[in-house]
Amino acid sequence: MWLSNSSVGRKVVMSVTGIALILFLTFHCAMNVVALISPSGYNWICEMLGANWYAVAATMVLACLFVIHLVYAFWLTWQNRKARGNERYAVTDKPKTVEWASQNMLVLGIIVVLGLCLHLFNFWAKMMLPELNGTTDLQVLSNATNGIYHIKQTFSNVIYVVLYLIWICALWFHLTHGFWSALQTLGWNNRIWLDRWKCIGNIYTTIICGCFALVVIVFYVKSLL
């Protein structure tokens, strides 16, 4: 199959799944901003999502997209290293046009995965999972839709704050390169539009990651007051 047997096909899969995940991050970012403006509004969103069939279906789709993106990332990296052979050990000067993020996408991606695991532990495992497991503990069920409670609990811990900020920083580098790289793979590869997409991607990614970081910092500061 072309999408798996050719390098271009694999890059297309990476691009499409990457864009889909960026769209989810946009939704998640908007949801987090609500927590800063209206705690009750944020809890209403958490309750509306919960373990309802549409939320579960969306979670499964996101999990599939993420796994496909991750598998293809390792696959492309392995293929590229195999194609270079011993040349990858040669000491050469990197061209000035080569971005640091593009040279470290796999490492950044691994940090993003580890951060996601931490996030799932702190939120998904305490919110959606108890409902899916059918727990009868009323206190656990009550907290399951109390997103603000979990945000306060998580970001009152300075260790989690530092880990989340590192994660968000890695996510910023990963997305700033991945955004325009995906569009380039899908055909937006002329010089004029490529430069424009790089600029748009940097602004867009900075807004998303900035909002995520703002939630972490604001709730940590509030925990100190």
Q: Could you tell me if residue 178 is inside a domain?
A: yes
Q: Could you tell me if residue 49 is inside a domain?
A: yes
Q: Could you tell me if residue 91 is inside a domain?
A: no
Q: Could you tell me if residue 94 is inside a domain?
A: no
Q: Scanning the structure block, which residue is given the tokens 């889909």? A: 20
Expressed in angstroms, the distance from the first to the final Cα of the chain is 58
What φ, ψ does residue 90 adopt, rounded to 5°? -70, 140
- CA 118 to centroid of chain Cα atoms: 12
Residue 51 buriedness (CB in 10 A; 0-12 / 13-18 / 19+): middle
Tens-place pLDDT, residues 131-178: 777 777 777 777 888 999 999 999 999 999 999 999 999 999 999 888
Q: Could you tell me if residue 90 is inside a domain?
A: no
**Residue 95, pLDDT score:** 43
What φ, ψ does residue 137 adopt, rounded to 5°? -70, 115
Q: Note down the domain range covering 194.
A: 2-85+100-224
Residue 181 · residue 7 · CB < 8 Å:
no
User: What's the CA gap between 11 and 17, in Å, rounded?
Assistant: 10
Q: Could you tell me if residue 93 is inside a domain?
A: no
Tokens representing 57 are: 């279906």
Tens-place pLDDT, residues 24-66: 999 999 999 999 999 999 999 988 887 788 888 999 999 999 9
The tally of domains found in the chain comes to 1
- Model confidence, pTM: 0.85
Tens-place pLDDT, residues 64-85: 999 999 888 888 878 777 776 6
Q: Which residue pairs from 211-214 have beta carbons closer than 8 angstroms and sit at least 24 positions apart in sequence?
A: 211/29, 211/32, 211/33, 212/29, 212/32, 212/164, 212/168, 212/171, 213/165, 213/168, 214/36
**Residue 195, pLDDT score:** 84
CATH number for the domain spanning 125: value is: 1.20.1300
Q: Could you tell me if residue 118 is inside a domain?
A: yes
Could you give the 3-state DSSP secondary structure of residue 13? Answer: helix
Q: Could you tell me if residue 152 is inside a domain?
A: yes
Tokens representing 208 are: 């998303």
